[in-house]
Chain A
Amino acid sequence: MTDVIKKFKCFYQDHSAKAKMGATRRFTRSKWGNAICCLFIIAAGLFTMLPLIYAVATSFKPLDEILLFPPKIFFVRRPSLENYAAIPTLLSDQNVTLSRYIFNSVFITFITTLVHIIISAMAAFGLSKSKFKWRNALFMIVQFALLFNAYTLSVPQYIIFSKIGVIDTYWAYILPQLATTLGVFLIKQYIEGYVPDAYIEAATIDGASYFGIFFRIILPLIKPVLLTLLLFSFRDVWAMIPQGTIFSENIKTLPMVMSQIASGGIARSGSAMAVTVIMMIPPVIVYLISQSNVMDSMSSAGIKE
């Protein structure tokens, strides 16, 4: 029992060691307090993870196990890939192959995320290091506009989109994301926090242009926040279901296909979960790549008024 407690203790930061090093003394909790906190964390972890585990389990169930009554929820007796294999045939009545949807999703997500990161970083650089008088006012507007996402603006943007004729084209996916301000906001706060003016001044004295400074000095310095934005932007675009701006089957993306399959009832729930699992993989990979940077760069993201 003491072994278990010891093992368990090693998960907590050893505040006493820090105190010896002259750092902060922290308060300890009672045993009961610790137990309650751990139970709470476990409960929350189950709440977030169980549905996802259920999705993975169901995606590997052959049809007879899905239809088994009473259903075995997490237990798969004979895991099979038939749900995954069935996805292309489920779409055969659409005249569009699965590969087309995959291409659309990948293409749109790649282009949008890339352009979003670049233009946001450039705008944020200007907002934080230029000498224009109105840049603070502009930043206040950008900061306030954090409130509005693509869903809030769907109808007002629809009018603009139909005027410029981009309804039912790839642009209808790309443009709404480019105008969101989370990127500019995060990068601007990060530059303020981590890139001293002295760097820029030194480089200007050395005769570098602002373009040069941006590409050679700023971009490498702000890599953590760029990776953070990569995560957020990728996640949003990848999962986006446009509100009434896309009609043609051949430019639809995976989330829209997923919603079509998921509405197919119990017999299709295996395939619906298979698409869900496939859809989960890319954002998880992006998260694993960027996660060590997320904490660093988010900590400068406070809104100051």
Chain B
Amino acid sequence: MKRLNNKKTKSYSLLKNQWQMLVMMAPFFILFFFLLIVPIISSLVLSFSSYDMLNPARFTGIDNYLRMFVSDDVFPSVLKNTIVIVLITGPAGFMLAFLLAWLVNEFTPTVRTFLSFLFYAPSLAGNAFFVWKVIFSGDSYGYLNSFLLNLGLVTEPITWLNDETWLMPIVILVQLWQSMGISFLSNIAGLQNVSRDLYEAGSIDGIRNRWQELWYITLPSMQHMILFSVVMQIQSSFTVSTITTELAGYPSVGYSVDTIVSHMTDVGSVRFEMGYASAIAAILFLLMAGTRIILGKFLKILGR
């Protein structure tokens, strides 16, 4: 009986009940607005001012941006470091993750689960990169040093984490080690979701080997999944900062591995030059968004 009554008013109740949807969406979107949209917009605005959080912001035009590229000695090197880290760990991390996922996907589910755990373990273990600090320890007790000393390859321990030539490769290695996980998981999930019918149709249409299958069927049908893991890679590689500060300290020797984020944190929450820190943040947003848009377009073209 109740059901019949309600059927009549179905369209009304749909409209009437929409406020419940609004109530449910509200908590997240209020937080989203105040903690993500507002900070991004306010940092774009504040980037044109001088602001120390005590005195009101003073409009200074493009001074901050000029300072960044002309008078700040540190910014060019942190920009260069960030770009090097992104250019190497981004593509390498993604390709490694994809290749591993592609290979692991052929195993039986049990083995696949086990291997997935192996490859995801470093990202799972959160701050486990501290172990690299011991491995690359600068005295002869450091794992790598004693190994090399034993083999007679070096005569004196190398101070890995205080040496400009070694710091960057080490940071790249650790970032790769740590960040591959989520790309790997999303790639393997995507691979399992490629429709088997497509492979069958492909083999009828004359696909001869694994590589053709990968190029003509697997990659195009994983296009959306790939964009997701690319976004995750951009997110983690542009914001490398804990690894560098924990391994090499801030500032690191000769600013050889400091990144935009660690410099921004230093300028902002340590020196309270919020106007300048906001300008750095603005550049970081633009770099990340730009990379994201270009790669999105690129994948769209590839997917056709």
Contacts and interface: CB of A to CB of B under 8 A. Distances in A.
Residues of A in contact with B, size category: 35 or more
Contacts of B300: 305
Indicate the member of B21, B111, B192, B231 with the most A CB atoms within 10 Å.
B21
A54 B232 CA distance: 28
A298 B14 contact: no
Provide the main secondary structure of the chain A interface: helix
Contact of A214 (B24, B185, B227): B24
Interface stretch (A84-92, A95-103, A280-288): A280-288
B31 A301 contact: no
Nearest to B222: A302
A298 B274 CA distance: 38
B3 A207 contact: yes
B39 interface: yes
A284 B124 contact: yes
B239 A156 contact: no
B190 A37 contact: no
Contacts of B292: 144, 147
A276 B127 contact: yes
Contact of A235 (B29, B103, B126): B126
Interface of B: 2-3, 6-7, 10, 13-14, 17-18, 20-22, 24-25, 27-29, 31-32, 34-36, 38-40, 42-43, 46, 53, 96, 99-100, 103-104, 106-108, 111, 113, 115-128, 130-135, 137, 139-141, 143, 146-147, 149-150, 177, 180, 182, 185-186, 188-190, 192-193, 196, 199-200, 203, 209-210, 213, 222-225, 227-228, 231-232, 234-236, 238-239, 241-242, 246, 261, 264-265, 267-270, 274, 277-278, 280-281, 284-285, 288-289, 292, 296, 300
Given A272-B130, A279-B125, A295-B185, 15 more contacts: A13-B108, A47-B177, A48-B180, A52-B131, A123-B25, A145-B32, A146-B235, A148-B40, A155-B281, A159-B39, A175-B35, A181-B36, A259-B127, A279-B126, A304-B224
